[in-house]
Structure 1
Amino acid sequence: MSPQAFQRAVLDWFEIHGRKHLPWQQAPTAYRVWVSEIMLQQTQVATVIPYFSRFMQRFPDLPTLAAAELDQVLSYWAGLGYYSRARNLHCAAREVVERHAGRLPERLEALAALPGIGRSTAGAILSLGHGLPAAILDGNVKRVLSRHAGLAGWPGETRVLRELWELSERYTPTSRTAEYNQAMMDLGATVCTRTRPRCDACPLSGDCEAHRSGQTASIPAPRPNRSMPVRRCLLAVLNNRNGEFWLQRRPPIGIWGGLLSLPEFDSLDTIHEWCIQRGLEVGELECLPERRHTFSHFHLDYRPVIGVAKARYNAAEPGHGAWFAPHPDLALPAPVRRLLEECAAGASQSSTHKA
């Protein structure tokens, strides 16, 4: 299939079946496209929509995002996971204000040099936000191109990735690029899906090598298997009689980087020692059943340990920890937020019963 025929088939399909009413497609700007593309990395559209709408209400433009404190940005990101995306977004916004007069660059190299923006995201910003011709290669596009060309192997492999970029550059048109790129993403997301692709509804199936050879289940190849290590810890859920919880700031780099979270320990004895060192008189500790939270590269098995301080001791550690009342705007990891909500609800029920 020639590039022209490929483009025509994709664009004709998009006219009828493409998604045209997503929030970031309404009055699109480079900024809105950028935020949506970062949120959509490793996250499904249905999950992103409410986060995007809420984020845009609070940070409607790039200067507003750049002027905000990182903690505010993280609080509006909490629950989406992969928090380095939010930190990079905030860092890049400040860099754009300082170096590019508050406007996202219109050159691929300058865009791709910003924190968190790679070649494909830069191409999406240029085409969907600035209306310029630029190729993209997100996960959906990789799948469509791999199957159409019958390109075996894992798309993350250097050789395969190089060939996929060559295909993407070859097929991307110089006009109607925004529609074409959106069409390719939609095609991969709704038709050429990872499992059970709807080949009968695909405009490229007549020329698709994977479809012809019956290899849609094996192309593209999955990431090579790797064993997921398991980390275990105790999470101390300490609250006082004012209904506040002890939280501390995570390091800026690493899991849940920059978020508020619960202190971690390896034993009950170390929790007791930690409390004594800070003048916290805590009653009997209650251990809840172990829970699991899975990150991209390991499992975290954690056991919540509940303790109540007999008074609101001023045990704050500047820059490290303090008492916080539960609040929707706190920048908390999703499992920690759920845990605090459970504990707060349990404490409320207990108070009701006692009354």
Structure 2
Amino acid sequence: MSHGDDDLSWEPAPGHGPEVLYAVDGPLGRVRLNRPRAINALDRPSIDSLHQQLAAWAADDRVAAVVLDGAGERGLCAGGDVRALRESVLGGRPEEAVDYWRAEYAVNALVASYPKPYVAWMDGIVMGGGVGVSAHGSLRLVTERTRLAMPEVIIGFFPDVGGLHPLAQAPGETGTHVALTGEPVGGADAVLLGLADVVVPADAQDRVLELLRDRPDAGAAEVAEAAGRPGDGPPWLAAHRSWIDRCYAGDDAAVILQRLSEDPDPAAQEAGRTVATRSPFSVAVTLEALRRAATMTLEEVLAQDLRLGATFATHPDFAEGVRAQLVDKDRTPRWTHGSVADVPRQEVLAAFDG
């Protein structure tokens, strides 16, 4: 969070609560996700507030660019409020979860098609739904503190919010590794994956804002020059491309898992152990969805996400995965299938008919 914001008037969107706050900062429309105790997780009121205010600013000549950040020190956004979605599902109201995703994906599409510069300050934790409101923007800034992930396979879900679109275009099989393990990556890797544009120092937000007030349409190179270079190391994914590209090739999740476990590289074996703990149904469907996303537009991927969401809302692995990870926190989910090899191909294909 920037420290020069004390003199701004931060207010909720008209008719909405304080889950998201907004301020006009010269030519900038400032957006601050404001649930710091939940690492700014996006509940339904947050989604509705964002859609209303972003749409209003898109048509407001006083606002030349939008800048998104998150309240608190921990990060931009930990993702969607999946505990609330689980409650809906367990209460026999899966349509509430699907309605949430429909509203969320509409915001993701709005960000992607925004008619003005949309700048995302992706410091700290940026996961799941947090990627959806940032990585589709026109200028995505990560820092040496960024921990970006699409961790949905951990909770019996799949990487949604249009995230499979950039991951399918990422170099080699790097996007496949990130989607199937759910593991976080740093700022340099986020750039390599196409989810961010440039790494800037975490203490550079005030300098970046100063530049943007003067030049709302400043590009990544100008911002990097104004911000200075952080001490972020080289991308981990680039250093491991040889086994990543070799092991994750193809359309069969069971074969991929076998290759990882048998590869001589210890990092490959570790990835194999990680994927083996994820929901087998999630892993199998995620791989299929990722391969399909390679020939889709973002809008088509978001439509596919909504079909899959309807399937996952009523699949036992989603409620169980959220329970194990976020409710009871015992980290010992009991998945429907014993391994990815046990997931029938027909069950994977049926998921896309949601």
Give the TM-score normalised by the residue count of structure 1: 0.26
Give the TM-score normalised by the residue count of structure 2: 0.26
